[in-house]
Amino acid sequence: MTTVVGFIGLGNIGKPMALRLAQQQEAADLEVWVYDVAPDPLAEAERAGARIAASVAAMAARSDVLCVMVRDDDQVREVLGEVLGVAGDRLTVVIHSTVAPGTPAALAATAARHGVRVVDAPVSGGAMGAADGSLALMVGGEEEAFEAAEPVLRVLGSKVVHAGPIGAGTKFKLARNMMHFIAFTAATEAQRLAEAAGLSLKDLGDVVRHTDAITGGPGAIMHRETTAVLDPDDFWYGVFSNVTSLGVKDLGFAIELAHQLGVEVPLAELAIDRLGPGLGLPEGDH
């Protein structure tokens, strides 16, 4: 049977997501409807094959899956308020917006009183990933709700993770983005060091992107099921001991260079002390 999909919020990420659904609707057996307050992205989605809904309520009344990609918690609540009361009991609402950790569970509890299911499914991969369907989607919700939304999610992304109950997707996204933006901050520190040393920042960026594509970047250390202290007999003990030894050596040299050049590198100074314990090495083994 054809799944009727509504998509609300055609912004920087939402628009390419909606276009992806519209372009794939025949192959995925979807009927795609869109809604936004701005006319231009609606017209673009219509040219791609989507249909324009007159209102959120009108869309909710006909949809099986309703994707929400609006700006913030308040807008998500506003959308859900317009949906409840007009939606049938077959509806599953998918919250793609990144919201506060407690918001999905609160909204799901409210929606359940109206027979509506909710999953939170924030995304990672940016506009490029949205355009070509290579997003990662981190999903929280009950199994039945996840199964209802899954065919749509797999059109939107090439990595779909059912992280756990409602709210788990949002917590997953926040952990992922915490690493993302801390890494950006570390990159600015490395740039200042490179600039002070007379190096090309563009070349440094090229090298970082090249090698991270090979090694996996920060994700290369993320293979364990726990952050507990490692037993010396654990396979990862030897691996992370080596990583820590190399890291402490190179961080030490980088910090020494920074001091010579008068560059402040507080994250590097924090990392040299926290790398080993963070990887799970017992105190005194790093």
Q: pLDDT (tens digit, 9 = 90+) per residue, 31-53?
A: 999 999 999 999 999 999 999 99
Q: Is residue 218 part of a domain?
A: no
Mark whether 116 and 241 lie in a shared domain: no
Question: pLDDT tens, 67-89?
Answer: 999 999 999 999 999 999 898 78
**pLDDT, mean of residues 223-247:** 96
Name the β-bridge partners of 92.
Answer: 65, 117
How does DSSP classify residue 230?
Answer: P
Domain count, the chain: 2
Res 286: pLDDT: 60
Mark whether 161 and 227 lie in a shared domain: no
Q: Is residue 46 part of a domain?
A: yes
**214 confidence band (pLDDT: 50, 70, 90):** very high
Q: Which of 29, 51, 24, 237 is nearest to 133 (CA)?
A: 24
The one-letter code for the residue type at 124 is S
Q: Is residue 107 part of a domain?
A: yes
How far is it, in rounded angstroms, from Cα 140 to Cα 118?
9
Name the β-bridge partners of 160.
Answer: 137
Say if residues 174 and 112 touch (Cβ distance below 8 Å): no
Q: Which of 286, 272, 274, 277 is nearest to 241 (CA)?
A: 286
How far is it, in rounded angstroms, from Cα 166 to Cα 146?
10
Here the CATH number for the domain that contains residue 105 is: 3.40.50.720
**pLDDT, mean of residues 231-235:** 96
How far is it, in rounded angstroms, from Cα 65 to Cα 118?
10
Measured over the CA atoms of residue 228, residue 231, residue 233 and residue 237, the dihedral's sign is positive
Q: pTM of the predicted model, to two decimals?
A: 0.94
DSSP string, 76-114: HHHHHHHHTTTS-TT-EEEE-S---TTHHHHHHHHHHTT
Mark whether 34 and 160 lie in a shared domain: yes
How far is it, in rounded angstroms, from Cα 79 to Cα 111?
12
Measured over the CA atoms of residue 46, residue 52, residue 56 and residue 59, the dihedral's sign is negative
Question: pLDDT tens, 250-259?
Answer: 999 999 999 9
Neighbours of 230 (CB within 10 A): 21
Query: Which of 151, 171, 191 finishes a domain?
Result: 171
Name the β-bridge partners of 120.
Answer: 95, 140
Helix/strand/coil for 57: helix
The range of the structural domain enclosing residue 127 comes to 3-171
Tokens of 176: 């992922």
Q: How far is CA 142 from CA 128, 146, 156, in A?
A: 29, 6, 20
The pairing of strands 135-140 and 123-124 is: antiparallel
Mark whether 162 and 85 lie in a shared domain: yes
Res 46: pLDDT: 98
Q: Is residue 60 part of a domain?
A: yes
Here the CATH number for the domain that contains residue 245 is: 1.10.1040.10
Tokens of 126: 């940016």
Please list the active-site residues. Answer: 173
How far is it, in rounded angstroms, from Cα 52 to Cα 45?
8
Res 199: pLDDT: 98
